[in-house]
Amino acid sequence: MARRNWIGLMTGAAFALGAMAQSSANAQELTIFWAEWDPANYLQELVNEYTKETGVKVTVETTPWGDFQTKTFAELNAHGDAFDMVVGDSQWLGAAATGGHYVDLTDFVKKHGVDKSFVPATLQYYSLYDGKYWSIPAEGDANGWAYRKDWFEDPKEKEAFKAKYGYDLDVPKNFNQLIDIAEFFTRPNENRYGVALYTQTAYDAMAMGLEQTIFTYGGDLGNYETKQVDGILNSPQNVEALEAYRKLYTFTPPNWTQAFFVENNQAFTEGLVAMNMNYFAFFPALANKATNPYADVTGYFANPPGPYGHQHAALGGQGISIVTYSKKRDEAFKFLEWFIREDVQQKWADLGGYTCHAAVLNSEKFLNATPYNRAFADSMKIVKDFWAVPVFADMLFQMNDRLHPYITTGQGTAKEALDALVADWNKTLGNI
Amino acid sequence: MAVLATLDPHSRAASRGWSDLTIRNAFILPTIAFLIVFNIFPLIYSLGFSFTAYRASLNRPAEFVGLQNYRELLSNPDIWNNFTVTAQYVILSVGGQMLVGFGLALLLNRKFPLKGLVTTLLLMPMMLSPAVVGLFWKLLYDPSWGPINYALGIGKFEWLSHPTNALFATALTDIWMWSPFVMLLALAGLSAVPQHLYEAAAIDRAGKLYTFFRITLPLISPLLLIALIFRTMEAFKTFDLPFVMSTANVQTVAIRLYQMAFQGWDTGRASALAYIVLIVVLAITNIYVKYLNKVKER
């Protein structure tokens, strides 16, 4: 009996010591959840510096973009602490803030002067919801264009283009020129096409590609304050924009119905398309000779102005938020204090991340660091975003359902598709 | 004590005085507990959610709305469209599986060299992961460099771009994957048909068609119906193939349910839709089972 008690006590002590060691090990670790793309790899490299300085291990866990929203909210809805911070999309702010999933960072932002040191537009779109700040801008991004300089500068192409369209072949100065150039380079018998567009409907790809066209034509997705969509979403400008996007789609490679950043970059690196719509975060792969044989002849430009003088780029990028259910919130706050330092933001930019720190973003060093950084800096001044309300996901999928068939198959008319979407969004936004 | 006599007198069970009934229950209880936790409880819990306007992402208590979710879903033309697409998919894919599977079984129901190897190779498609099958058939259907277009000489025909084409293409993939299942069941039925019936038919100079429709088909129809029941239930719930191959273009009710539940987090409406699907599948299955019982009685 005494021997059994002694064995039981030793076993219990061993378990207790193990649990203590485990919990003390956990206190020295932070987990950040993000989508699986290059910036997440850059962030992992960056946070290794934090580990060197503080001894706290930081792991960036990733999941494919198509699953990112689903997996994040599955964990948040379950009040799980699998990750301490999340680099979430701007559209999630409403849902995450309303659901109490993010920690309010308003005091942190004001105390550390983030509202003064970071670009105001990035704070507005990545962090602000309902008058409070819920994240720190982490990865600035916008939708832009890459193009084949060698095709554009070929004398024969220039001559043929001028003969057909009456002006010089160059970086498009407006959206109509972009459509002309796409049409000009579409030659299926040569396996060449004008443009690679976003059309994927697993999440927000198609919506992002289309929305910047809508904004550029002077249209809008509704009044974000009053939630009015009738007369705005189905306005003549939006109809024209949707028709323009449909026309552009006819100049994409065959079967281009579910394309996002991977497919668009692939079309470009395989020499299929003259112009590639993509977020700037994916352009490092195009500037790298190892991944793009045409890197030396790849140019970049911001989304051109529309026919009525408006110029916008779809906002991309994310802010980093602290998860309410994290048991290491204090450590997460310390991490954010480190992250917002100017030297850290400079390092972030050097690694390839798109800083939102004003001083770093506007420096000549940043602007000259890559062939696309100037176009990126230009784009960040004209960014505009989708709805950030709690029901944004419903609205995204309704937009996909209503507009994708028109864009990819020409089913119905642009007006009919937009009118149907107005009815859907009215219902979803509770206007009915 | 008489019961204990059936146990090893030195066993712990015997020393604890466990009866046969207790031992039986001890084996069954974990399974029952598992079924209650992972089947019965979620079934009842989600039924409750289906009467509420609950969104899992909003961290608010569920608000009771009665039958509103059901009314909205059943009056939504998009949902009816999803059911129509699903029905078309079921008819195409299950019909194809039955024809191809039964045809393969008829061909295999004889002796020939390497029959075992051929049968194993024919069974392989259904052993693969549906996601993997979807991904590589997506590559096969590629208009620019997929082998299907090349073999058929149809240029850059886009299989997965247009909703109608995508429905046929996805159903074809499903037929390729699941015909072996029907083949297995049909082969089991064919091998059980008594040979003396065929011999008697031959003696009476019955033709092949007559033999097939009067002897073969009636005797294996119970197994074919079982295959039909299983495949219809599965096809109705199909998610992986359309999701992997072409989400937007084959909007089955399962795809809609996934989007509603796990992307829109509209838990209440998604639960209501899930129950509507359950009722439809149960109704169809009941019809099949009643017909199966009639066939067996004959």
Q: Which residue of B has its CA nearest to A392?
A: B264
Question: Are the Cβ atoms of A77 and B57 closer than 8 angstroms?
Answer: yes
pLDDT band at residue A24 using 50, 70 and 90 as cut-offs: very low
pLDDT for B97 beyond 80: yes
Is residue B69 included in any domain, yes or no?
Answer: no
Alpha helix (H) residue ranges in chain B: 12-16, 20-35, 41-49, 68-74, 77-108, 115-123, 130-140, 147-152, 163-192, 195-203, 208-211, 217-236, 240-246, 253-258, 267-297
Asked if A89 and A396 count as a contact pair (C-beta separation under 8 A), the reply is no
Interface of B with A (CB under 8 A): 55-59, 78, 142-144, 156, 158-163, 246-249, 251, 259, 262-266
Residues B147 and B180 in one domain: yes
Write out chain A residues lying below 8 Å of B160, CB-based: 255, 257-258
pLDDT for B13 beyond 70: no
Q: pLDDT of A48-96, one tens digit each?
A: 999 999 999 999 999 998 889 999 999 999 999 999 999 998 888 888 9
Question: Are the Cβ atoms of A254 and B158 closer than 8 angstroms?
Answer: yes
Q: For residue A355, which of A7, A39, A22, A32 has the smallest C-alpha distance?
A: A39
Taking the Cβ of residue A246 and every Cβ of chain B, the question of whether any pair is shorter than 8 Å is answered with no
Residues B33 and B152 in one domain: no
Residue A157 CB-density burial (10 A; 0-12 exposed, 13-18 middle, 19+ buried): middle
Taking the Cβ of residue A253 and every Cβ of chain B, the question of whether any pair is shorter than 8 Å is answered with yes
Question: Are the Cβ atoms of A404 and B248 closer than 8 angstroms?
Answer: yes
R_g of chain B, CA atoms, integer Å: 25
Q: pLDDT of A306-340, one tens digit each?
A: 999 999 999 988 999 999 999 999 999 999 999 99
Residues B114 and B38 in one domain: no
Q: How many CB pairs under 8 A join A and B?
A: 78
Write out chain A residues lying below 8 Å of B262, CB-based: 70, 74
Is residue B178 included in any domain, yes or no?
Answer: yes
Amino acid B197 reads L
Is residue B198 included in any domain, yes or no?
Answer: yes
Residues B107 and B173 in one domain: yes
**Minimal C-alpha gap between B261 and chain A (Å):** 10
pLDDT score for B11: 63
Enumerate residues 6+ apart whose C-beta is below 8 A from B31.
none
Enumerate residues 6+ apart whose C-beta is below 8 A from A21.
none
Taking the Cβ of residue A187 and every Cβ of chain B, the question of whether any pair is shorter than 8 Å is answered with no
Q: Which residue of A has its CA nearest to B267?
A: A77
Question: Are the Cβ atoms of B262 and A74 closer than 8 angstroms?
Answer: yes
CA distance B69 to B51: 7
Q: pLDDT of B49-87, one tens digit each?
A: 999 999 888 878 889 999 999 999 999 988 999 999 999
Domain that holds residue B194: 74-297
Give the residue from A68, A76, A255 with the most B CB atoms within 10 Å of its CB, the best one to mutate.
Answer: A255
Beta-ladder partners of A302: A144
Question: Are the Cβ atoms of B263 and A70 closer than 8 angstroms?
Answer: yes
Beta-ladder partners of A196: A276
Residues B120 and B28 in one domain: no
Write out chain A residues lying below 8 Å of B247, CB-based: 201-202, 258
Q: Which residue of B has its CA nearest to A97?
A: B58
Q: For residue A32, which of A143, A140, A142, A136 has the smallest C-alpha distance?
A: A136
Question: Are the Cβ atoms of B161 and A255 closer than 8 angstroms?
Answer: yes
Residues B33 and B118 in one domain: no
pLDDT for A25 beyond 50: no
Enumerate residues 6+ apart whose C-beta is below 8 A from B57.
A73, A76, A77, A95, A99, A101, A390, B265
CA distance A251 to A324: 46
pLDDT score for A46: 96
Question: Given the DSSP bridges, would you call strands A29-35 and A85-89 parallel, antiparallel or unpaired?
Answer: parallel
**Minimal C-alpha gap between A90 and chain B (Å):** 16
Amino acid B32 reads I
Q: Other CB atoms closer than 10 Å to residue A106's CB: what's the count?
A: 14
> Do the interacting molecules here have an ipTM over 0.85?
no
CA distance B192 to B198: 12
Is residue B116 included in any domain, yes or no?
Answer: yes
User: Is residue A394 within a helix (H) or strand (E), and if so which, with residue range?
Assistant: helix A392-409
Residues B118 and B192 in one domain: yes
**For the CA atoms of A246, A252, A257, A261, what is the dihedral angle to 10 degrees?**
-110
pLDDT band at residue B12 using 50, 70 and 90 as cut-offs: low
Question: Are the Cβ atoms of A191 and B144 closer than 8 angstroms?
Answer: yes
pLDDT score for B7: 54
Question: Are the Cβ atoms of B162 and A253 closer than 8 angstroms?
Answer: no
Q: How many domains does chain B have?
A: 2
**Minimal C-alpha gap between A250 and chain B (Å):** 13
Q: What is the DSSP string of B88-118?
A: HHHHHHHHHHHHHHHHHHHHHSS--TTHHHH
Q: pLDDT of A201-255, one tens digit each?
A: 888 899 999 999 999 999 999 999 899 999 999 999 999 999 999 999 999 998 8
User: Is residue A147 within a helix (H) or strand (E), and if so which, with residue range?
Assistant: strand A136-148
Cα A344–chain centre separation: 22
Residues B98 and B214 in one domain: yes
Q: Other CB atoms closer than 10 Å to residue B183's CB: what's the count?
A: 25
The three-class DSSP label of residue A192 is strand
Backbone angles phi, psi at A82, to 5 degrees: -60, -30
Region A351-375: mean pLDDT is 90
CA distance A188 to A181: 15
Is residue B63 included in any domain, yes or no?
Answer: no
Residues B204 and B266 in one domain: yes
**Minimal C-alpha gap between B141 and chain A (Å):** 10
Q: Which residue of A has its CA nearest to B249?
A: A405
- Nearest CB among A77, A100, A201 relative to B265 is that of A77
pLDDT for A27 beyond 70: no
CA distance B181 to B177: 9
Q: Which residue of B has its CA nearest to A79?
A: B59
**Minimal C-alpha gap between B266 and chain A (Å):** 8
Give the residue from A258, A395, A398, A404 with the most B CB atoms within 10 Å of its CB, the best one to mutate.
Answer: A258
pLDDT score for B1: 43
Q: pLDDT of B256-294, one tens digit each?
A: 999 899 888 899 999 999 999 999 999 988 988 888 888
User: Mind listing the domains of chain A with CATH numbers?
Assistant: 29-141+316-384 (3.40.190.10), 143-314+388-428 (3.40.190.10)
Give the residue from B49, B54, B59, B73 with the most A CB atoms within 10 Å of its CB, the best one to mutate.
Answer: B59
DSSP secondary structure code for residue B216 in this structure = I
pLDDT for A352 beyond 90: no
**Minimal C-alpha gap between B263 and chain A (Å):** 6
CA distance A192 to A43: 36
Q: pLDDT of A265-307, one tens digit each?
A: 999 999 999 999 999 989 989 999 999 999 999 999 999 999 9
Distances from the Cα of A200 to the Cαs of A52, A207, A243, A363, A404, in angstroms?
40, 9, 18, 35, 9
- Nearest CB among B162, B259, B264 relative to A409 is that of B162
Write out chain A residues lying below 8 Å of B158, CB-based: 254-255, 257
Residues B34 and B81 in one domain: no
pTM for this entry? 0.79
Residues B159 and B240 in one domain: yes
Is residue B62 included in any domain, yes or no?
Answer: no
Question: Are the Cβ atoms of B265 and A393 closer than 8 angstroms?
Answer: yes
Asked if B125 and B104 count as a contact pair (C-beta separation under 8 A), the reply is no
Beta-ladder partners of A351: none
For A279-283, B5-9, B144-148, which range has the lowest pLDDT when averaged over its residues? B5-9
Is residue B13 included in any domain, yes or no?
Answer: yes
Region B180-196: mean pLDDT is 91
- Nearest CB among B57, B144, B265 relative to A254 is that of B144
Is residue B64 included in any domain, yes or no?
Answer: no
Region B7-34: mean pLDDT is 78
Residues B97 and B223 in one domain: yes
**Minimal C-alpha gap between B35 and chain A (Å):** 22
- Neighbouring C-alpha atoms within 13 Å toward the C-beta of A345: 26
Q: Which residue of A has its CA nearest to B138?
A: A255
Taking the Cβ of residue A416 and every Cβ of chain B, the question of whether any pair is shorter than 8 Å is answered with no
The three-class DSSP label of residue A431 is coil
Question: Are the Cβ atoms of A409 and B156 closer than 8 angstroms?
Answer: no
pLDDT score for B3: 45
pLDDT for B2 beyond 50: no
